[in-house]
């Protein structure tokens, strides 16, 4: 093969990679915009449950009991379990359910995320959950100091980003086979309400 043919082949290969990156960028941009436009109206509390295969929405024990405990109209509390991904698998960072969660976290729509360790680490890696040493979470940080999950950030070091739900009276209702954690959105504005939700999930703390 001539030198010119080699250059042409190399040029085509490079531009195919560039075109692929542009297409992926456009797809993600459209998906983020679409998810933001279709986000739920402002709720009293919006909690995301990742890989939750049991019913935790309207009509479930955990949902109805929390509505009663919080004394809030049911349409103002959103328990969204439509998230299915595994961030221990790098490919799932492109998963549409994960991209939906990212859009909701970035827009401040989702207040709290309940998930297992691998997904918590993946979400924390993007800096989208609240460092519980933040002043806004000072009560949670103090009240659940023995339940904190620490994520090792390459730049910031060891950060508390989740609260273990082990031993919760609702542990069986949640249905996770591994230990589940609750994390707060880094851009959420309902920290006090998430705290109330934690007090409901862990009443003996």
Mean pLDDT, each 10-residue run in order, the chain (205 residues) = 56 52 49 47 89 91 94 88 93 91 92 97 92 96 97 90 97 93 95 97 91
CA dist 100 and 98 (Å) reads: 5
The total of other beta-carbon atoms located within 10 Å of residue 129's CB is 25
Read off φ and ψ for residue 3, nearest 5 degrees: -60, -40
Q: What pTM, to 2 d.p., does this model score? A: 0.80
pLDDT in tens, 111-159: 999 999 999 999 998 889 999 999 999 999 999 999 999 999 888 899 9
Give residue 36's region: left, alpha or beta (phi > 0; psi -120 to 50): alpha
CA dist 50 and 131 (Å) reads: 20
CA dist 132 and 11 (Å) reads: 49
For 172, the token pair is 């069986």
Is there a contact between 114 and 63 (Cβ–Cβ < 8 Å)? Answer: no
pLDDT in tens, 38-48: 445 578 999 99
């Amino acid at each position: 093969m001539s030198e010119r043919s080699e250059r042409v082949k190399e040029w085509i290969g490079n531009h195919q990679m560039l075109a692929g990156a542009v297409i992926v960028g456009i797809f993600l941009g459209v998906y983020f915009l679409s998810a933001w436009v279709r986000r739920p109206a402002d709720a009293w509390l919006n909690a995301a449950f990742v890989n939750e295969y049991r019913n935790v929405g309207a009509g479930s024990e955990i949902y109805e009991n929390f509505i009663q405990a919080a004394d809030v109209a049911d349409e103002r509390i959103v328990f969204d379990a439509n998230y299915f991904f595994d961030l221990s698998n790098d490919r799932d960072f492109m998963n549409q359910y994960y991209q939906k969660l990212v859009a909701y976290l970035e827009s401040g729509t989702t207040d709290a995320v309940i998930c297992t360790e691998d997904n918590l680490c993946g979400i924390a890696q993007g800096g989208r959950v609240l460092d519980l040493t933040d002043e806004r979470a000072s009560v949670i940080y103090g009240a659940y100091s023995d339940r904190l999950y620490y994520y090792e950030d390459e730049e910031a070091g060891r950060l508390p980003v989740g609260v273990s739900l082990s031993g919760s009276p609702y542990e069986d209702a949640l249905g996770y086979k591994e230990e589940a954690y609750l994390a707060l959105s880094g851009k959420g504005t309902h920290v006090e309400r998430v705290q109330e939700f934690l007090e409901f999930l862990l009443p003996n703390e």
